[in-house]
Structure 1
Amino acid sequence: MGPPQPELSPAGRVNHQWNRLSEPERAVAQYLVTSPPQLVVFATADELGRRTGTSEAVVAGTARRLGYPGLPALKASLGRAAAAPQLGVRLQLAQDLPGAATHLVRDALGRITAFARGLDVAEVGKAVALLGSASRIFCYGWGVNELSARYLALKLTRAGRAAQASGATGYAFADDLADLSPRHAVVAFAPGRVLPELELLVAHTKKTGAGLILVTEHIGEELAGYADVVLRERGSPGSLTAEPLCAMLLADLLVLGGLADGPAVDTYALLTKLRGELREDRP
C-alpha cells in the first residue's frame, strides 16, 4: 500500500468533476470556489441556491457530486483551505516584529480604504436621522460583533443618548427584546451569518414599530428589505486586523453625525467632572 494521497481541495475537486457536472451544478460549483470563503461558510443551502439561481437541492447535490457527504463537509473544507495560509503568515510574522508591524498597518489601511470607497454617506445620514428621532437606542451583535454593539452604545451614552447593548443569544435574548417600543431605534451588527436571534430581532422590531438600522457586509436581502436603513460594511475582514475595525469606524461616524442635535456638550462636561473626582486624593 502506497502513502496516503492528499485530500483534493474544493477547487481541485471542481476541476476533476467539471465535465460530469450539469449546468446548474457548474453554477453552484463555480460560485463555491470563486467567492470569498466567508460568503460561503456562513450561508445556508437555501441562500446559496438563491445566489446561484438554482435551488437548495442542487446545492446539496453538488456537494455530494464533488465527493463530500454533504454541504457542511464542503464548507468545512473551504474554511480549512482559507485559514491555512493565514495561519502560515501569522506564524512567520510572529518571528519578525518590525515586519509584523508593517503588515498589520498595511492590512488595516487596505480595509479602511475599501470601507471608504463603499461608504454611502446618504444612507449614513438617514441612519443618523433615525437615531436622532429615537428616545432609546438598542445595539445588538453576537460573537465578535458584540464588540461593535457595545462600542456604539458606549459612544452614544457619552454623547448623552440613552443606549444599551446586547450580545445575548438563546432564551436570554428574549429578555432584551421585551422592552422594545416605537420609541426605540435598533442597530444590528450582522456582517455574515443569519442567526435565529437576528431573524427574531428583525421581526420583533418591525412588530413594535421601532426603527431598524442593519449594519452588514453580506446578509440575505430578504432580511435587509425589512430594515429602515442598511449600511454596507464593506471593509472585509483582513488576515491580521480585528474583524470589527470598520464597523467601529462606522459607529464613530454615526455618533459624530448626531452630535449637533444631541446633549453631547452637557454630557461630556459631566463626564469630565466625574473623571476629575475619581483622580482626587482620598483620605
Structure 2
Amino acid sequence: MGAPEPLVSRVNHAWSRLSEPERAVAEYLVTSPPRQVVLATADDLGRRTGTNDETVVRTARRLGYTGLPALKASLGGATGAPQVSFRRQVARDLPSATTHVVRDALGRISAFGRGLDVGELAQALRILGAASRVFCYGWGVNELSARYLALKLTRAGKAASASGATGVEFADDLADLSPRHAVVVFAPGRLLPELEVLAARAKQVGAGLVLVTEHLAGEIPADAVLRDPGSPGSLTAEPLCAMLVADLLVLGTLGDGDTYALLTRLREELQ
C-alpha cells in the first residue's frame, strides 16, 4: 500500500470540481500552518474562510477524507499527533487550551443538533417502545455509551443489558437475542465483523436495530440511524454526542416513573 496522497495534491486534483466556498476552505487548508488547522474546529475554519462548518466538513469529504478528523490526522506528520500537539499547548497556555476544548465540544453539540433527524429518532423510539428488552452494544470507548444507555434504561423501568465483547466471547450475546429485543449499536466509523454478524442476527430473530454512527449509515441494515458527529478538533471524547443520543432515547421511553421512585427511596435509605 502506497503512502496517502498529500493534502495539497488532493486539492490540486479536486480543484475544478469544488464550488467557490469549497475552494476558499481548500485554499486555507493548504496555506495555513498545519498545527493551526489541527487545533481549529469546523466552526473556526468556517469563520476564517467566510463559509460555515458544514462547508468545511463537505470540503474535507470532497477531498477524499471521511471527514474533518481524518483530514487533520493526515497532517500529523507535519505537526506531530494532534493529541501530542494539544498537550504541548496545554503545558504552555492552559486558558487557551481550555477554550479550544470547550469550543470543540460546543461545535460537536451544535452539529449534532442541526443534524438530528427527528423522523429517525421517532422510529428509534418506536423500536425501543415495542421491545421488552434492549441490548446495547459498542466496542472500545463506545462500550461506555452502550453501558450508559443500558443503565439509564434500566433506571427508567426498561429491561436492558450492554456488551462490548468481540470475537468468540460475543457469541453468548448473539445467542441471547430474540424477537422481544431491540438492539442499539454505537459504531461511529469503523465496521467490525461483529457488527455485520450482529445486524444479521437481529434480522434473523426479528429484533429491531438502531444504529448510532457518523460514517456507517448504509453500510449495514438498520431500522433507524441516528447521526453521531465526530470531534472537529479531535479534542473531546468520542462518546460525547453518543451520550446525548442515549439521553434522548431514555427520555422518549420513560414509563410511569416507578423505577425512579424506587431508586430515590433506596438512595434515601442508604444515606
Equivalent runs, 1:184-223 vs 2, <5 Å: 184-219=181-216, 221-223=218-220
Q: For 2:184, what is the secondary structure of its paired residue?
A: strand
Of structures 1 and 2, the larger Rg is shown by 1
Query: Aligned Cα RMSD in Å?
Result: 2.9
| Partner Cα distance (2:168, 2:4) in 1 | 39
Q: 2:155 pairs with 158, 164, 184, which one? A: 158
Q: For 1:178, what is the secondary structure of its paired residue?
A: helix
User: How far did residue 168 of structure 1 move?
Assistant: 0.4
Match of 1:118 in 2: 115
Contact 1:10–1:77 under 8 Å retained in 2: no
Aligned length in residues: 222
Q: How high is the TM-score relative to the length of structure 2?
A: 0.73
Contact 2:133–2:158 under 8 Å retained in 1: yes
The structure-2 alpha-carbon separation of the partners of 1:83 and 1:266, relative to structure 1 and needing over 3 Å to count, comes to: farther
**Does residue 87 in structure 1 map to residue 81 in structure 2?**
no
Amino acid at match of 1:132: G
Contact 1:39–1:218 under 8 Å retained in 2: no
| Partner Cα distance (1:83, 1:144) in 2 | 23
| Partner Cα distance (2:74, 2:231) in 1 | 21
Match of 1:44 in 2: none
**Does residue 243 in structure 1 map to residue 238 in structure 2?**
yes
The structure-2 alpha-carbon separation of the partners of 1:237 and 1:208, relative to structure 1 and needing over 3 Å to count, comes to: farther
Match of 2:98 in 1: 101
**Does residue 139 in structure 1 map to residue 131 in structure 2?**
no
Q: 2:166 pairs with 165, 169, 175, which one? A: 169
Q: For 1:10, what is the secondary structure of its paired residue?
A: coil
Q: For 2:134, what is the secondary structure of its paired residue?
A: strand
Contact 2:217–2:225 under 8 Å retained in 1: no
**Does residue 149 in structure 1 map to residue 146 in structure 2?**
yes
**Identity rate of aligned residues, in percent?**
68
Match of 2:56 in 1: none
| Partner Cα distance (2:93, 2:113) in 1 | 30
Q: How high is the TM-score relative to the length of structure 1?
A: 0.70
The structure-2 alpha-carbon separation of the partners of 1:81 and 1:117, relative to structure 1 and needing over 3 Å to count, comes to: farther
Q: 1:36 pairs with 43, 67, 77, which one? A: 67
Gaps of 5+ in 2: 14-60
Match of 1:22 in 2: none
User: How far did residue 220 of structure 1 move?
Assistant: 5.7
User: How far did residue 104 of structure 1 move?
Assistant: 1.6
Contact 1:37–1:82 under 8 Å retained in 2: no
Q: For 1:106, what is the secondary structure of its paired residue?
A: helix
Gaps of 5+ in 1: 1-7, 19-29, 41-75
**Does residue 272 in structure 1 map to residue 264 in structure 2?**
yes
User: How far did residue 78 of structure 1 move?
Assistant: 7.0
Amino acid at match of 1:248: M
| Partner Cα distance (1:237, 1:177) in 2 | 34
